[in-house]
Structure 1
Amino acid sequence: MSFARVRALVVVGLLAALALVFVVVALVRDTQRDAGAAGGCPEGWPLADVALRESKDVKLNVLNGTDQPGLAGKIADDFRNRKFQVKKTGDQKNKIDDVALLRYGPKGVGSAHLLRAYFLDDAKYEYDPKRKDDTVDVVLGGSFQQLATTTEVNQSLGDLGSPIAPPGSCPAPVED
């Protein structure tokens, strides 16, 4: 073996050893090991389910917050046709002028995020940290016209990005 070849092998070996040391140091000193998990969550804060749900896994109640009779039933049928699990329909005493109002708790964060896309992110939302179920209440308002098409929903989801934990909650670890 020539001296040039030995010298090249020594240099490559030193570079590989240096790279290995660098990787080990980076892993040991990693300060973001618990990022995204509930590791740094203050005690008593609820864990928010931030996994984006498919429509077949979303449970919702559709409420009519307008003077238009039968609106909740009609829109509930639209949601059923899109494979949502509609639990209840009915009227709400308080009328709202917005497009819609989404009410949900920590277990419904991912579901509410999907529903925001069906209203093209024009719906208002109310997060209740004490709510224990994963159902989202959809209150239709006076400015509501129709649900978004599949293409519009996909575009809106792209614009919205990933669900995030609401203030006062921590993201629950996402299962693969």
Structure 2
Amino acid sequence: MSFARVRALVVVGLLAVFALVFVVIALVRDTQSNAGTAEGCPKSWPLADVTLREPKDVKINVYNGTDEAGLAGSVADDFRNRKFQVKKEGNAPKQVDDVAVLRFGPKGVGSAHLLRAYFLDNADPQFDIKRKDDTVDVILGNSFQQLATTTEVNQSLGDLGSPVAPPGTCPAPVDK
């Protein structure tokens, strides 16, 4: 073996050792190991479920906030065809001018995030910190025309990014 080849192997070996030492030090000194968990949050704050759900795992109530008769039923059927769990449908107590209003609690944060994509982020999210269930109330408004297509939903989810815990809550630990 020539001297040049031995020298090259020594240099490559030293680089590999330095890289290994660097990785070990980076892992040991990692200060973000608890990022995105509830550690460090006040005990009185509720845990927000920020897991982005699949439609089959999302429970919704659909309410009609317009003068159009039967709108809640037809949109509820659209949601059922998209595999959502529609629990209730009916008329809202008062009219809504927006496209839609999404009402949810800490357990419905990820579900509401998904539903925002079905309204192309034009729905008004209304978070209720005292709400205990994981159901999202969808109140259709006068500006509602139709639910987004699958492609539009996927694009909207990309634009929205990941669900974020609302103010006054902590993100729940994610099961791995």
Check whether TM > 0.5: yes
Unaligned runs of 5+ in 2: none
Q: How far apart are the structure 2 equivalents of 1:145 and 1:58?
A: 22
Matched residue of 1:175: which SS?
coil
Q: How does 1:120-135 map to 2 (within 5 A)?
A: 120-135=120-135
Amino acid at match of 2:125: Y
Q: How does 1:72-87 map to 2 (within 5 A)?
A: 72-87=72-87
Q: How far apart are the structure 2 equivalents of 1:61 and 1:5?
A: 72
Q: What is the CA-CA distance between 1:3 and the residue it aligns to? A: 4.7
Q: What is the CA-CA distance between 1:8 and the residue it aligns to? A: 3.7
Q: What is the CA-CA distance between 1:6 and the residue it aligns to? A: 4.4
Q: How far apart are the structure 1 equivalents of 2:14 and 2:141?
A: 68
Q: What is the CA-CA distance between 1:43 and the residue it aligns to? A: 2.1
Partner of 1:162: 162
Q: Identify if the C-alpha distance between structure 1 residues 167 and 5 changes in structure 2 by more than 3 Å, giving closer, same or farther.
A: same
> Per-residue CA shift, 1:71-98, capped at 9, x if unaligned?
2112111111111100011112121111
Q: TM-score, normalised by structure 1?
A: 0.91
Partner of 1:139: 139
Q: How far apart are the structure 2 equivalents of 1:169 and 1:25?
A: 33
Amino acid at match of 2:84: F
User: Cα RMSD (Å) of the superposition?
Assistant: 1.7
Q: Structure 1 stretch 164-173 or stretch 92-101: which is displaced more?
A: 164-173
Q: TM-score, normalised by structure 2?
A: 0.91
Partner of 1:53: 53
Q: What is the CA-CA distance between 1:60 and the residue it aligns to? A: 0.2
Partner of 1:118: 118
Partner of 2:21: 21
Q: What is the CA-CA distance between 1:4 and the residue it aligns to? A: 4.4
Matched residue of 1:38: which SS?
coil
Q: How far apart are the structure 2 equivalents of 1:49 and 1:72?
A: 27
Deviating beyond 4 angstroms after TM superposition, the runs of 4 or more aligned structure 1 residues are 1-6
Identity across matched positions, percent: 78
